Amino acid sequence: MAMRNKIRIKCPKCLNPYDVEQWSAVNGDKNPQQKLKILNDTLFSASCPKCAKENRLGYPLLYSDPKQNIMIWLVFDDEEVRHITDYYKKSKTEISEDSDDVDPQCRQRIVRDSDRLREKIMIFDSGFDDKIIEIAKLAYAQSAQRKLPNDKIAAAFFSNENAENRIEMFTESGSAFVSKFSRDIYDQLEDKYGGKASYAEDRVYLIDDVWALNLLRSF
Ligand SMILES: [Zn+2]
């Protein structure tokens, strides 16, 4: 499988056609440069050589890191999400235990945009469980929301900048703020929710705020 392809795109501003590189798979261990580009948000953009406009590229990609035993699919198409989920569900029951195809310990995730891919990589690189982080983000957002009577938290992201773990929050009106992420809170949530039956159910791929809300509702 070719890991990268040249694709011709047309600049939406000046209509100049130009070639961009697209990666279908990035191995965090073997392609550290591309991994860095995901983390600094440059893998999914390309500036037009004619008018210099920075154009965003949205394309699917499989990120893996065999050392950490993770696979993260960046998928835009709903049909493709179903396809991947079905494949793994099927392989779980049909492929024998000793098959190399699916490692039961491998953490497989699906993300729907490049910001979430970046976030997942930072979570796993920081040694955290993304399920606990999703629950923690809800707690951070809830407590920040109480101080914002006239605005609404629209999104929260885990990030690791200069070796500091943070929760970044963005409001509907466009404000952004950052909280330092507390290891104590993580440990408390892990004690409370880690290893619960409903938590360890079938491999789940979309670990996000909706997943965390559903889990909390079930308690
Ligand atoms: Zn252009």
Q: Convert the pLDDT of each residue in 37-84 to its tens digit.
A: 999 999 999 999 999 999 999 999 999 999 998 999 999 999 988 888
The per-residue pLDDT for 180 is 96
Range of the domain at 30: 4-93+105-124
The per-residue pLDDT for 142 is 93
The per-residue pLDDT for 95 is 45
Is the pLDDT at 147 greater than 60? The verdict is: yes
Asked if 84 and 8 touch (Cβ cutoff 8 Å), the reply is no
The Cα-based distances of 154 to 17, 134, 143 in angstroms read: 36, 14, 14
Compute, in angstroms, the gap from residue 18 CA to the centroid of ligand 1: 9
Compute, in angstroms, the gap from residue 197 CA to the centroid of ligand 1: 53
Do 36 and 141 lie in one domain? The reply is no
Q: What's this model's pTM, rounded to 2 decimal places?
A: 0.88
User: Residue 120 is encoded by which pair of tokens?
Assistant: 């997942």
Question: Does some domain include residue 99?
Answer: no
Do 211 and 153 lie in one domain? The reply is yes
Do 140 and 73 lie in one domain? The reply is no
Backbone phi, then psi, for 142, in 5-degree steps?
Answer: -65, -45
Question: Does some domain include residue 98?
Answer: no
Confidence of residue 215 (pLDDT cuts 50, 70, 90): confident
- Tens of pLDDT, residues 98-115: 455 556 678 889 999 999
Strands 164-171 and 176-180: antiparallel
User: Taking the alpha carbons of 211, 212, 217, 218 in that order, is the dihedral positive or negative?
Assistant: positive
Compute, in angstroms, the gap from residue 75 CA to the centroid of ligand 1: 26
Compute, in angstroms, the gap from residue 10 CA to the centroid of ligand 1: 8
Q: By C-alpha distance, which of 141, 142, 175 is closest to 158?
A: 141
The total number of structural domains that make up the chain: 2
Average pLDDT over residues 204-211: 85
Compute, in angstroms, the gap from residue 92 CA to the centroid of ligand 1: 47
